[in-house]
Amino acid sequence: MKYLIVGLGNPGIEYENTRHNVGFRVLDKVAGELAATFELDRAAFVSYAKYKGRSLVLIKPITFMNLSGKAVNYWMQKEGVSIENVLVITDDLALPFGKLRMKGSGSDGGHNGLKDIQATLGTNAYSRLRFGVGSNFPKGRQSDYVLGKWEKEEELALPERLLTANSFVLSFCTAGLQLTMTTWNGK
């Protein structure tokens, strides 16, 4: 079976350690755990990995967050991955820092990357792993917050949360969506 795992973020060094790029960080962790490396290919940095008989295609779109759907659609078609085997990893302001929540579908929640994926694919019925970044920002400063760097305490806690996110991803590819949600949501 083949899976497309999409980490959302923005390309460029200026976005590297921002909250909005946590999807990229999760994929870096997954690739590291599976001894896989990323190479630039059409619309994304791409890595191929094997895990327990599954083929994983990891992508970090370089289309910028607001145009993520283009890369997701291209790689789904190129690799022949069905929507049931797509997992999108994104930052989420509605969850406290480090809280992880997997869902099988849902609204975009105001997230421009998810909004573009939904518009491009014509459905919101794809799995997503939401990584809480908190909402500790003054009214009207949401953009500055998600594009801002992690606080020192957050940066120190990030490795453990990335390891848990890695477990979510690998469970999704082996145990499936429902069992992964039952086992891992809330951890």
Catalytic residues: 20
Interstrand relation of 2-7 and 100-103 (parallel, antiparallel or unpaired) = unpaired
Q: Which two tokens stand for residue 121?
A: 């694919």
CA atoms of 47 and 117, how far apart (whole Å): 20
Rounded to the nearest 10 degrees, the angle between the axes of helix 152-174 and helix 177-184 is: 140
E strand segments, the chain? 2-7, 39-41, 44-51, 54-61, 86-92, 100-103, 127-132
Interstrand relation of 100-103 and 54-61 (parallel, antiparallel or unpaired) = unpaired
CB 142 within 8 A of CB 101: no
Which residue type does 100 have? L
